[in-house]
Amino acid sequence: MKAATGNRKFVWASNYLAIIIVCVLILLLSVLVGSDRYIQRIILLIVLWVFMCTGFNLISGYGGQVVFGYMMFVGTGAYTTVLLFKFLGVTPWLGMWVGAAIAVVIAFFIGLPTLRLRGHFFAVATIAFPLMTFPILNHLGLEEVGIPFVGHGAASLQFSDLRYYVVIAIILLGLSLSLTRKIERSRLGFALRAIRQNETAAEGMGVDTFRTKMITFLLSSGIAAIGGTIYAFSLLYVLTTHAVFGLFIIVKVLSITIVGGMGTLWGPVIAAAILVPIGEFLTAQFGARFPGLQDVVYGAALVATIIYIPEGIWGKISKSYYKRRRKEMATQAMTGTDESPAISDEFVFNDLQLSSNGIVSNEPILKIENVSKSFGGVNALNDLNIVVSAGKLLGIIGPNGAGKTTLFNVINGYLKPDKGRLLFEGQDVALLKPNALCKRGIGRTFQVAQIFHNMTVIENIMIGAFANTRNANEARAIAEKIAQKMGIVNRANDMAVGLNLWETKMVEISRALATHPKLLLLDEPMSGLNPEETVRIGKIIRGMADSGITVIVIEHVVQSLVKIADLMLGLDEGHKITEGKPEEVISNSHMIEAYLGAKWRERYVKS
């Protein structure tokens, strides 16, 4: 017990100590260099830009949804606070929270339509909003708003010495960095990384992608608004639409985050410490003779980084650090005992605390009633009726284009049926989103493996485990147990991108198992495997079914499927051709014709 708390303290310290140290160092620097406004201004700019970058980094770096319209929220925060201060005398300390709240509300309404869009469309769509606000504010006569000077003092957030602002900014930065670190290690952080790498797979593994993106977007906009307020009060005497709603905000934020490393905690800190002083120096020295020099530098840094170090400075550093550490660990393992785990040939999954826990009832777990789905005139599924009994292993065969994968996509919610009902455990679930279906107990794997390439094996499985728990430690424990079971524990901390086909398939199955499925959909698990592996995966699938998970397998390796399936079903052109015992289905004349052509059916029937 004591060891556990000690350990927890250690983890806490390693998480947040570095942040505290960095903040204290900047503070010391600021105090020590004296009241020179030029240098204090640079320090303040660095801290403020990093603060705004942390907000941007959450949604755009970790979540991969680049918000080109980030200045919308910076401007909203700045304008709200200044207008409240000027016309109603509201103290900026209160105004800044009002500004943040308004920014969050605006973000919600911007996010509703735009967060459904993918990648680069989202980026450009968001930029329309500040471009729209800009002329409206100008039209209202708010192009320039002087911040009234009411005397130096804390209440009005007006200080003669910039160091006061530096202190405030550092405290905010410490908070935002800590928040980022906390999110990084939490379910939200894992979900964001999964979304960034493969949104479709994340949704299927129980990540509510829309909600995750929305929450993060709201957080980011709040941070932007507070950053905007401090920026306006500390550095602008006259607030202009150009200064806080202009493209220049996103240019700075984007450059600093990209150069430092998207989705890294320290990247923006390092990049700002390099870029901001260079930019300020150039402007001070040559700004009069060569206007625009600073932005040329930012533009060049942006383009060069994307070409040469797409992961950014900090991304590069941490990558090479982990590479070295893994090499060291590998050499240690070599000198130590043989660590390759003994893989049992018995695949019993009862001890994984799966939801159904070996109870086999003959109740239908899934009923597909009159389901049809067509794509622009092609009927992929045609009035399909299927009943799947709990605890059974159902094999689905059919020629290419028979609608097998479409059927899976309908069952786990990627596609909505045009008509018909989908009953899971007696309830109509046809309109639920994939993540909700996953949480109800429908897990799946994919025809072409959809793993998260830049996450470790264990992290991949954890994404599945988060369908059942919010706690990262619990998720890790579940993932480790399953990795052990599936014989991939020796690769637990390796990036998924370097795995071979067998390991990739095991990761996918493990990830699906970690969601604790009652119904598991396996899309061509045997394709591409050698005969030995085919037998082994067959045993694994059988083992899962024997532990009480209802399994539906799509497979072209019919001989192997026949050996393990309880029941089989033949599909062709979206119709159910036949179902029943495996031997019956494979000797059905229509199935033979569908697979091999009419000639073979005649021969078969004759013989």
Partner 1 sequence: MENFIQLLVQGILVGVSYAVLSAGLTLIFGVMNIINFAHASFAVLAMYFPTFWFLQWWGIDPFVSAALSLPIFFVFGYFVQRLVISRVIGRPGSETATLIMTMGFSLLIENMILLVWSGAPRIINESYTIATWRVGGVLINHAQTYGMLASIVLIIGLFIFLNKTTVGKSIKAAADDPEGCAYMGINLNLVYGIAYGLGIAVTAAGGCLMATYRPFNPFYGETIVVILFAIVVLGGLGSVTGAVIGGLIIGLVQQLSSLVVAVSLQNVAVFLIFVICLYTRPQGILGKKERAI
Residues near partner 1 (CB under 8 A)? 64, 66, 68, 112-114, 116-121, 123-125, 127-129, 131-132, 135-136, 138-139, 196-197, 200, 247, 251, 254-255, 258, 290-293, 295-296, 298-300, 302-303, 306-307, 310, 375, 405, 409, 414-415, 446-448, 450, 453, 523
Smallest distance, partner 1 to C-beta of residue 292, A: 4
- Contacts (Cβ under 8 Å, ≥6 apart) of 553: 393, 394, 395, 396, 522, 525, 541, 561, 564, 565
Whole-number Å distance between alpha carbons of 93 and 82: 11
Nearer to partner 1, 64 or 543 (CB): 64
Smallest distance, partner 1 to C-beta of residue 119, A: 5
Nearer to partner 1, 217 or 446 (CB): 446
Question: And the tokens for 372?
Answer: 């049809």
Question: And the tokens for 114?
Answer: 């735009």
Smallest distance, partner 1 to C-beta of residue 195, A: 12
Nearer to partner 1, 119 or 580 (CB): 119
Output the CA angle 308-314-320, nearest 5 degrees: 80
Instruction: Give start and end residues of each alpha helix (H) in 389-498.
Output: 404-411, 434-440, 457-465, 472-486
Smallest distance, partner 1 to C-beta of residue 515, A: 16
Nearer to partner 1, 42 or 123 (CB): 123
Output the CA angle 88-233-135, nearest 5 degrees: 75
Smallest distance, partner 1 to C-beta of residue 185, A: 23
Nearer to partner 1, 295 or 474 (CB): 295
Smallest distance, partner 1 to C-beta of residue 53, A: 14
DSSP string, 140-179: TT-SEEE-----SBTTTTB-SSHHHHHHHHHHHHHHHHHH
Smallest distance, partner 1 to C-beta of residue 56, A: 12
Q: CB–CB of 438/412 below 8 Å?
A: yes
Whole-number Å distance between alpha carbons of 223 and 16: 19
Smallest distance, partner 1 to C-beta of residue 294, A: 8
Q: Which helix (H) or strand (E) holds 579?
A: strand 575-580
Nearer to partner 1, 126 or 221 (CB): 126
Nearer to partner 1, 415 or 551 (CB): 415
Nearer to partner 1, 118 or 185 (CB): 118
Q: CB–CB of 58/219 below 8 Å?
A: yes
In residues, how long is the chain?
607
Q: Among residues 445, 375, 441, 433, which one has the least CA distance to residue 408? A: 445
